[in-house]
């Protein structure tokens, strides 16, 4: 998976309006789209993402429908597409079948936050067989041994979680993020992207100032969609993308 540096990744929930919203995000400057596949017990999701997931489930979203949306989106955009889901739906479908189906739909990578790297052997093998990048999450509380193991297995980029908690909009960036970037950097040449709490040009710039290679925005993007739809999302993403692009010249 090739991402620019710095990179802006936008998270959207797989729902009936996802393709339209994702196209708007790409027009605004998103370098990749992370696509949440809704699950009834989303342990890493904060209230905004949970609300979006429950709405998608009420709208009849299933794994098959989510994969069909990814395939439709792939026919319309060229940026990397990264499904994000949980271990239970993957196991229910079968690990190898899920990875093969995601790749056939046009996915480039995969995020499964509740599969720890030291238990991800089957998932790593299935991703490799389907040429999917398995993207790990690391937090400020991650020990050195976990950082080293996760980076060794990582593909695409390494997702750095700004807090030890769930997703959500926050006013500022934790002071621990810079230390996390410094700890992870020696272990990998992959891009290091910061997520959980990035919600504005100011927080995006603060994340990049730590030495990170990009940001992932989810909860705020969903809130913008809820308030104003695709047009509002495109304007929001363009605003963030201008900050990210300007930083590349600093």
Give the residue among 211, 219, 225, 221 at the shortest CA–CA distance from 241: 221
Rounded CA-CA distance 233/204 in Å is: 16
Q: Quick one: angle between helices 95-105 and 121-129, nearest 10?
A: 40
Q: Is 45 designated active site?
A: yes
Host H or E run for residue 247:
helix 219-247
Contact assessment for residue 206 and residue 173, using Cβ atoms and an 8 Å cutoff = yes
Single out the catalytic residue among 15, 23, 45, 234: 45
Q: Is 229 exposed, middle or buried (0-12, 13-18, 19+ CB in 10 A)?
A: middle
Rounded CA-CA distance 60/54 in Å is: 10
Q: DSSP of 178-215, one letter per residue?
A: HHHHHHHGGG-SSEEEEESS--SHHHHHHHHHTT-SEE
Single out the catalytic residue among 15, 23, 34, 133: 34
Phi–psi pair at 35, nearest 5 degrees? -120, 110
Q: DSSP of 78-90, one letter per residue?
A: -S-EEEE--HHHH
State yes or no: cis peptide before 6, omega within 30 of 0: yes
Rounded CA-CA distance 227/235 in Å is: 13
Q: Is 34 designated active site?
A: yes
Catalytic positions, please? 34, 45
């Amino acid at each position: 998976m090739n991402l620019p540096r710095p990179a802006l990744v936008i998270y959207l929930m797989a729902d009936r309006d996802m393709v339209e919203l994702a196209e708007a995000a790409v027009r605004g400057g998103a370098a990749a789209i992370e696509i949440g596949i809704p699950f009834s017990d989303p342990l890493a999701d904060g209230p905004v993402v949970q609300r979006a997931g429950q709405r998608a489930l009420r709208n009849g979203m299933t794994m098959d429908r989510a994969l069909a949306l990814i395939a439709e989106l792939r026919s319309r955009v060229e940026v990397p597409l990264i499904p994000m889901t949980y271990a239970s739906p993957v196991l229910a479908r079968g690990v190898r079948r899920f990875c093969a189906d995601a790749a056939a739909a046009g996915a480039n990578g995969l995020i499964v936050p509740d599969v720890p790297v030291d238990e991800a052997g089957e998932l790593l093998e299935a991703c490799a067989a389907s040429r999917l990048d398995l993207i790990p999450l690391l937090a400020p509380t991650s020990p050195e041994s976990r950082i080293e193991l996760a980076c060794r297995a990582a593909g695409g980029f390494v997702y750095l979680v700004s807090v030890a908690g769930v997703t959500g909009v926050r006013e500022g960036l934790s002071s621990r993020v810079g230390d996390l970037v410094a700890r992870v950097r020696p272990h990998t040449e992959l891009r290091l992207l910061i997520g959980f709490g990035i919600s504005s040009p100011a927080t995006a710039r603060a994340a990049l100032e730590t030495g990170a290679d990009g940001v992932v925005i989810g909860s705020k993007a969903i809130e913008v969609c809820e308030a104003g739809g695709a047009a509002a999302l495109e304007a929001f993403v363009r605003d963030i993308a201008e900050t990210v692009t300007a930083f590349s010249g600093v």
